[in-house]
Amino acid sequence: MKKLVSLLFHRVVLVAFFLLIQVAVLVVMLLRFNNYFLPFYGVCVAISLFAVFWIVGRQSDPAYKIAWIIPILVFPIFGGLFYLLFGGNRLSSRTRRKMEGTDRKMEEVLRPDYKADELSSLGEDAVHQARYLEHIAHCPVYGNTETEYYPLGELCFTRMVEELKRAERYIFVEYFIIEEGKMWDTILDILKDKAQEGVDVRVMYDDIGSMFTMPRDYARELEARTGIKCCVFNPFVPILSLRLNNRDHRKIMVIDGKVAFTGGINLADEYINEKVKYGHWKDSAIQVRGEAAWSMTVMFLTLWDYVREKATEDYDAFRPPELPEIQAPGFVQPYTDNPLDCEAVGQAVYLNLINKARRYVYITTPYLIVDDSTNTALCIAAKSGVDVRIMTPHIPDKRVVFELTRSHYQPLLEAGVKIYEYTPGFVHAKNFAVDDKYGTVGSINLDYRSLFLHFENGVWLCNDPSIRDIRADFLSTLEQCQSVTLAQCRALPWWRKAVRAVLRVFAPLM
């Protein structure tokens, strides 16, 4: 009986219940308008036409526009109203001011570190990419930094534990998903001990990402019980609203401003293969040690202050003392992507990597839901003789999304792109390696939500030794993959092709 009561009052059940009530109210309101059908229909059509013209005039991805225009024209009564609720990144003036303040703070604190021109010896391509991230994302490029690439989540977890135990001043933790289990419990025990020692420990997680893994009041209880400062990003309110789309998908752990981790892994047991969900979980991460860790510290602090509504925190108090000289040959540039500033930084980084490739581009991604720009870039690179290879999962975590990923195979294969599926399980890594010269590791998937709707982060690498480690990991993992052929795609039954065609049209809305 207790389990039944607990289930009935579970947060997810209550949220679904309140959303259903809102939908029911909308339906009842529409039915009550039956007596005024013609004028009501006319108003709805006018709203839908206005929405279509508004969509066409907006600066957004063409596929995103098409995905909205079709349902609006097919269902003019509901389409326009639905778009007004969910169709764009409209911000209240208060939210806009807060986000602008965050950007200003990033620029104010990190501008003294800008040094893109120091990459001139590596060519203009490197300078232009570094300069873009400095001027647009306010994220400097750093030397005096070394990196360590982890081809599996469990390897990164081991190093995380070692570094957390060395913390002396502060620990900042920001993840999309946190779930109780071996991974989080081990980390939490260290965080508790460090908080008792006087270390400033802060934890932030996304409310939607952790809705099924954490109790509703977990953040408040953790802070009250342990002294660990904890907050939830964009708390889910059961009201039909566009704000539901903007999630904190970043993965950041910073220790004393000297060491930082990021990549694909969240703080849950499937990411270290302690729990099997979709076969073997193939993920990756990277450790940044040295000057570049400060940039990730500021990334965390600006979003933390945005959530906690703090505007007076002294960031200089967190700046690490002068770091010892690190004999690292390359450059490291952590970067972040904000979905509310109309600048798709993650997509720009990926497109730049593809367009600048001369010999090879190796891509690992859990979701291959590419927009027209990325599809064109990949096809042109392959047709130009660049060795373009993409690795995706063979065992899906979401069936519809997996079918959508496969729907993008054929045009790429026809252009000469090679595609491989990881047969032991699910690939969750988000990596690029290009020509042994450029690379990136981070949280950004190749899908619309990650590229246009989520808060994301990554690390751009130039001439860094970890690029060769990413390439070596990709090539060794190919031994456990099966190659996807053009003949397989063409041999699909017509109805399967039709389903995939429909999915591709509506991909930006998924």
What is the pLDDT at residue 194? 97
Instruction: Answer whether residue 32 shows pLDDT above 70.
Output: no
Q: Which two tokens stand for residue 82?
A: 């639905």
Give 425's strand partners.
Answer: 280
Active-site pick, 105, 282, 394, 430: 430
Q: Which two tokens stand for residue 186?
A: 């081990």
What is the pLDDT at residue 18? 57
What band does 274 get if pLDDT is binned at 50, 70 and 90? very high
Closest CA to 354 of 284, 467, 435, 415: 435
What is the pLDDT at residue 510? 65
Percent of the chain with pLDDT over 70: 83
Residues 6 or more apart whose CB falls under 8 angstroms from that of 106 comprise 138, 139, 298, 299, 302
Residue that wins the pLDDT comparison between 47 and 388: 388
Average pLDDT over residues 125-144: 95
Per-residue model confidence as pLDDT tens digits over 352-394: 999 999 999 999 999 999 988 999 999 999 999 999 999 999 9
Per-residue model confidence as pLDDT tens digits over 299-348: 999 999 988 877 668 899 999 988 778 878 899 999 999 887 778 999 99
Q: Is residue 434 classed exposed, middle or buried when 0-12, 13-18 and 19+ CB atoms within 10 A define those classes?
A: buried
What is the pLDDT at residue 235? 82
What is the pLDDT at residue 5? 46
Average pLDDT over residues 62-71: 72
Q: Is 3 a catalytic residue?
A: no
Instruction: Answer whether residue 11 shows pLDDT above 60.
Output: no
Instruction: Answer whether residue 2 shows pLDDT above 60.
Output: no
Instruction: Answer whether residue 426 shows pLDDT above 60.
Output: yes
Average pLDDT over residues 244-263: 93
Per-residue model confidence as pLDDT tens digits over 433-481: 999 999 999 999 999 889 988 999 999 999 999 999 999 999 999 999 9
Per-residue model confidence as pLDDT tens digits over 488-499: 999 989 888 888
Say how far apart CA 58 and CA 65 lie, in whole Å: 9
Say how far apart CA 386 and CA 226 lie, in whole Å: 53
Per-residue model confidence as pLDDT tens digits over 80-100: 666 666 665 555 566 667 777
Q: Is 408 a catalytic residue?
A: no
Whether 266 and 251 have beta carbons less than 8 Å apart is answered as yes
What is the pLDDT at residue 65? 74
Residues 6 or more apart whose CB falls under 8 angstroms from that of 410 comprise 486, 489, 490
Residue that wins the pLDDT comparison between 271 and 341: 271
Per-residue model confidence as pLDDT tens digits over 95-104: 667 777 788 8
The mean-pLDDT minimum among 126-130, 146-150, 244-248 falls in 244-248
Average pLDDT over residues 34-56: 68
What band does 421 get if pLDDT is binned at 50, 70 and 90? very high
Active-site pick, 138, 194, 249, 258: 249
Q: Is 435 a catalytic residue?
A: yes
Active-site pick, 105, 251, 408, 454: 251
Active-site pick, 207, 256, 305, 447: 256
Q: How many CB atoms lie within 10 A of CB 57?
A: 9
* Parallel/antiparallel/unpaired status of strands 145-150 and 285-290: antiparallel
Average pLDDT over residues 190-204: 96
Active-site pick, 105, 428, 437, 454: 428
What is the pLDDT at residue 250? 97
Residues 6 or more apart whose CB falls under 8 angstroms from that of 191 comprise 164, 171, 173, 201, 203, 226, 228
Q: Which two tokens stand for residue 400?
A: 């519809």
* Parallel/antiparallel/unpaired status of strands 387-393 and 418-422: parallel
pTM for this model (two decimals): 0.89
Instruction: Answer whether residue 232 shows pLDDT above 70.
Output: yes
What band does 7 get if pLDDT is binned at 50, 70 and 90? very low
What is the pLDDT at residue 325? 81
Per-residue model confidence as pLDDT tens digits over 161-186: 999 999 999 999 999 999 999 999 99
Q: Is 135 a catalytic residue?
A: no
Active-site pick, 248, 337, 435, 473: 435
Residue position matching structure tokens 């849950």: 268
Q: Is 428 a catalytic residue?
A: yes
Instruction: Answer whether residue 413 shows pLDDT above 60.
Output: yes
Per-residue model confidence as pLDDT tens digits over 316-325: 999 998 877 8
Share the mean pLDDT of the chain: 87
Q: Is 473 a catalytic residue?
A: no
What is the pLDDT at residue 251? 98
What band does 217 get if pLDDT is binned at 50, 70 and 90? confident
